[in-house]
Amino acid sequence: MQKKNYYIKTNRIFNPIRKYGWIVTVLIALGGLWEPKLGLAVLFIMAGLTITAFFSGRYWCGNICPHGSLFDKIILPISTNKKIPKFFKSKPFIIGFFIFFITNFIRKIIGISQYWGTYDVLDKLGSLFSNTYLMVLIVGGALAIFLNSRTWCQFCPMGTMQKLSHSLGKKLGIAKITEKKITILDKDKCIKCGKCAKVCPFQLEPYKEFSDNNQFDNIDCIKCNTCVVNCPVKILSLEKEIQSL
């Protein structure tokens, strides 16, 4: 078992988007209750995360995601920061929740279809997205406070969409050229202190998983640079995938 204080709370905010992005979540989730059309912004967010994932994996989660900003900037300081239960990381749960989410989403879209061609359709569609954001704000926020700030992210449907998009990018050989990964300068210089694991938002363990190419290939890595900044011997960086000869 991990020690109670194994995981360390540390700064994860390294750009203005991560610092202020949470405002977008609150604006869409709460503002959408009065102005449903605010929810239409989620369409652009979904497009953005899907496109960036094709080239860079789950980069969006660690650097751009408004919910990620909320979890890391606002909630992390008050989170219990416990170990994320394996149940939320299991493939059956992730796949099952994704199917449930997509099925429910399609069902609601079909219900809205009766309004196509009317002015109300924009409000109905926007309300669907804003209510979804509100649900994530409530459920994800509760999990963040009482378990770990990034618990929701383990099974987030948008995260699953990113992994699917990234898999396509890799199969087409594009992601291999464009993706950046956590890279260790020299594995022999690693002191195995485990700090990269202790500060990782997703509780991954880079120091145990570096490939022969000295890179961290875990598909759930969100490229947030938290391990890079906190490495005591400063041998980690975010670099493009090293191609084998």
* Percentage of the residues of the chain whose pLDDT score is greater than 90: 91
Residue 211's alpha-carbon distances to 67, 115, 194, 240, in angstroms, are 30, 52, 17, 14
At residue 116 the predicted structure's pLDDT band, cuts being 50, 70 and 90, is confident
pLDDT score of 134: 96
Instruction: State the span(s) of the chain assigned CATH 3.30.70.20.
Output: 179-240
Asked if residue 166 has pLDDT above 90, the reply is yes
Q: What pLDDT shows up at residue 4?
A: 60
CA distance linking residue 22 with residue 16, whole number of Å: 11
Mean pLDDT for the stretch of residues 20-29: 97
Listed residue (42, 199, 219) closest to 136, CA to CA? 42
At residue 234, the 3 state secondary structure works out as coil
CB 210 within 8 A of CB 227: no
Residue 245: per-residue pLDDT: 44
> Quick one: pLDDT at residue 38?
97
pLDDT band at 99 (very low <50, low <70, confident <90, very high): very high
Query: What tens digit of pLDDT does each residue of 174-202 get?
Result: 999 999 999 999 999 999 999 999 999 99
Distance between CA atoms of residues 90 and 71, nearest Å: 21
Give the model's pLDDT for residue 118. Answer: 78
Other beta carbons within 10 angstroms of residue 1's beta carbon come to 5
Q: Which residues pair with 210 in a beta bridge?
A: 216
The pLDDT, as a whole number, for residue 119 is 78
Structural tokens at position 47: 């497009």
Closest CA to 94 of 223, 220, 222: 220
% of the chain at pLDDT higher than 70: 96
Q: How far apart are CA 114 and CA 111, in angstroms?
A: 6
pLDDT number for residue 40: 96
Distance of alpha carbon 245 from alpha carbon 240, whole angstroms: 15
Average pLDDT over residues 14-29: 96
Summarize the confidence of residues 195-217 as an average pLDDT: 95
Using alpha carbons only, give the angle 88, 94, 96 rounded to the nearest 5 degrees: 120
Token digits of residue 213: 């190419």
CA distances from 76 to 5, 9, 65, 70, 79 (A): 14, 7, 15, 9, 5
The more confident residue out of 5 and 109 is: 109
Candidate CATH numbers 3.30.70.20, 3.40.190.10, 3.40.50.620, 3.40.50.2300; the one for domain 179-240: 3.30.70.20
What would the 3-class secondary structure string for 18-80 be?
A: HHHCHHHHHHHHHHCCCCHHHHHHHHHHHHHHHHHHHHHCCHHHHHCCHHHHHHHHHHHHHCC
CA distance linking residue 230 with residue 6, whole number of Å = 15
Mean pLDDT, the chain, whole residue set: 94
Average pLDDT over residues 119-123: 88
